[in-house]
Chain A
């Protein structure tokens, strides 16, 4: 499993880089942003907050950079991401409440987009020259529309004007959260429009990629042999598709990065209480601890998704499983 170990190493290094960047940025940026931040909190700094800031940013302490770095890692291992300035709560707690919503929305939308895009791509590649080809420029246009713009338009047209979907928020106010029917149903309803936005914006990439790869693979001899064998058509298509899907999975890391960025913006538009909204709050209020915490968590989540994609790839392509 040597290739997988290589990938693992990349992710470990990436995580390390992300953490280190988080550590170094506030200390290296010109204009001393931390001081500015503390200045803003004039008079409202509790001793615990002071301590938290010191731990996070090393301000006020006379420690070497290396010692601070060590402390930073120690804090991380304790799950301590610092204290949010604006929300007066530990960053980890805040994230714990919002991250599941984002992962749920984003995860579901990505799965749907990938599955639908791949199936359409297979159809487009197999049946070239049919009316389906019209889907290509349409989806390309949707992909070029910025996520947040598309979200705004959909929100207005289908939410506010036509009232087809509920808007703003993640479930109907007044319902009790928990594993009960009305709540779960409400969650689904509120997630529909944001999910549709994400799917519409991202499907073109999967679809086009799969189509192009299908066309390339259909030119291969083994597909002609499958035909010559008199195998049923769906078998022939599946042979081609199994080969054509490989680059889509190999390229997953790029795609997921773009989708995550877009999803954050979509959350803003729909006021979906996920990480995106939190990020904006942190930016506006210059709540650096929260900002860094979010960045770290997003990066680690994306890395985890990439890791899963890599496992899937190895499962699908026997050629990378061993040396020689």
Chain B
């Protein structure tokens, strides 16, 4: 049996684990996450989601308002100081949240939808369709994303560069290939399950099977893929903005970094200008990655922190994950039968050390 490298359930870096197969249809209740990592991730993302929605309204000033004194340190009036043109940085940050998060979200969504369609189709339909789609995915995967985007975007006319939706879609085009490959590998294994075979024999159409039988079993992986892709899209969008490839008049965190860089903020020590946007990007990214931990553990139960329960191990003095091949022995003295058991033929009385 040939095992192609593609078939070995490759998952995004950070989730290199094959999932435990889900038996039958997915009707289990969704359990609430208890891992502290996941809860932290949820909190972070929720906070930034709120920021996305209300940011521009909550901002004290307009981000383009250059009427203030220049290069002010953070103060009560300007929480993050002002830029070298005299604009309030905090307002820029709040405004920038929207474009960054929205583009990241939409690009992630588009890329995930594309990867679902292409990946599941390639895996389920097999044959020529699979070959063609897989080749397409591999080609897109092999071409490095950022250089391609730089080339594409620099060819765009100015009008195109400020169209965030267009930029988002173009970013999505470079970001779907990975998820498609993962979903294809998973579809191949789900395809062999009995309930899919049963549906096929019952005469269900191929598209119906893909949507209603295969897809529900892959939801966790789709979720993980979405989180990872959104992370990638935000990072790429910010990078493009930082380079000045996208329009510099649209406010996002990357553009802030662009302006900060071109005004030499790092060298003049104006940390309040370039640290906050970078930090926000990092926080959003960390939140997404933490959520991904949670989805990972859901997909692959072996990764859950379970082992022996915390309380139990503390009482017993055991490590939470005992060494493989060294099953712990927790005997109370009374549980040893050696003292009172009758002698049986040929055995020593009680446990004796090995004679050397």
Chain A interface (Cβ < 8 Å from any Cβ of B): 2-3, 6-7, 10-11, 13-14, 17-18, 21-22, 25-26, 29-31, 33, 128-129, 137, 140-141, 143-149, 152-153, 155-156, 160, 204-206, 208-210, 212-213, 215-216, 218-219, 223-224, 227-228, 236, 246-248, 250-251, 253-258, 260-261, 264-265, 268, 279-280, 283-284, 286, 288, 291-292, 294-295, 298-299, 302-303, 306, 310, 313, 317, 319-320, 322-324
Contacts and interface: CB of A to CB of B under 8 A. Distances in A.
Interface in B279-294: 281-286, 288-290
Contact of A129 (B2, B4, B37, B307): B307
Contact of B17 (A3, A160, A216, A302): A216
B74 interface: no
A10 B142 contact: yes
Given A3-B4, A251-B13, A292 B142 contact: no
Contacts of A299: 142-144, 147-148
Contacts of A256: 144
A22 B148 CA distance: 10
- Name, among A3, A205, A251, the residue most crowded by chain B CB atoms within 10 Å (CB to CB): A251
B16 A3 contact: no
A276 to B, nearest CB: 10
Interface of B: prevailing SS? helix
A40 B320 CA distance: 69
Given A14-B139, A283-B243, A140 B146 contact: no
- Name, among B1, B150, B244, B307, the residue most crowded by chain A CB atoms within 10 Å (CB to CB): B150
Pairs A-B, 5 closest by C-beta atoms: A144-B285, A227-B325, A261-B146, A149-B278, A205-B13
Nearest to A231: B325
B247 interface: no
Given A3-B2, A129-B321, A320-B2, A279 B281 contact: no
Given A3-B5, A148-B242, A246-B8, A228 B325 contact: yes
A224 B324 contact: yes
A208 B324 contact: no
Interface stretch (B121-129, B151-159, B336-344): B151-159
Given A25-B151, A254-B13, 14 more contacts: A30-B160, A140-B290, A145-B285, A213-B16, A216-B18, A224-B325, A251-B13, A253-B141, A254-B12, A279-B150, A295-B151, A299-B148, A302-B143, A323-B2
Interface string B59-75: 00000000000000000
A63 to B, nearest CB: 21
Contacts of B135: 10, 13
A213 B139 contact: no
B289 A144 contact: yes
A163 to B, nearest CB: 15
Interface string B2-32: 1111101111111111100000000000000
Contacts of A303: 142
Nearest to A142: B282
Contacts of B283: 144
A102 to B, nearest CB: 12
A266 to B, nearest CB: 11
B272 to A, nearest CB: 13
> Chain B interface residue count: which class?
35 or more
Given A223-B324, A247-B8, A215 B302 contact: yes
Contacts of A155: 266
B101 interface: no
B266 A156 contact: yes
Contacts of B143: 14, 17-18, 257, 299, 302
A232 to B, nearest CB: 12
A119 to B, nearest CB: 16
A208 B14 CA distance: 5
B284 A144 contact: yes
- Name, among A128, A218, A257, the residue most crowded by chain B CB atoms within 10 Å (CB to CB): A257
Interface stretch (B81-89, B197-205, B231-239): B231-239
22 contacts: A14-B143, A29-B157, A129-B321, A137-B286, A144-B282, A144-B289, A145-B278, A146-B238, A148-B242, A149-B278, A149-B282, A209-B15, A212-B15, A213-B16, A213-B17, A247-B8, A251-B10, A251-B11, A264-B146, A265-B243, A295-B150, A302-B144
Nearest to B253: A146
A30 B305 CA distance: 54
B216 interface: no
A2 B3 CA distance: 11
- Name, among B11, B144, B281, B300, the residue most crowded by chain A CB atoms within 10 Å (CB to CB): B144
B14 A216 contact: no
B138 interface: yes
A98 B272 CA distance: 34
B13 A10 contact: no
Contact of B302 (A13, A31, A209, A219): A219
A176 to B, nearest CB: 29
B13 A209 contact: yes
Contact of B289 (A2, A143, A279): A143
Given A156-B266, A302-B144, A30 B5 contact: no
A25 B152 contact: yes
Nearest to B277: A149
Contacts of B5: 3, 7, 250, 310, 313, 317, 320
B286 A140 contact: yes
A246 B8 CA distance: 9
Given A3-B2, A129-B321, A144 B17 contact: no
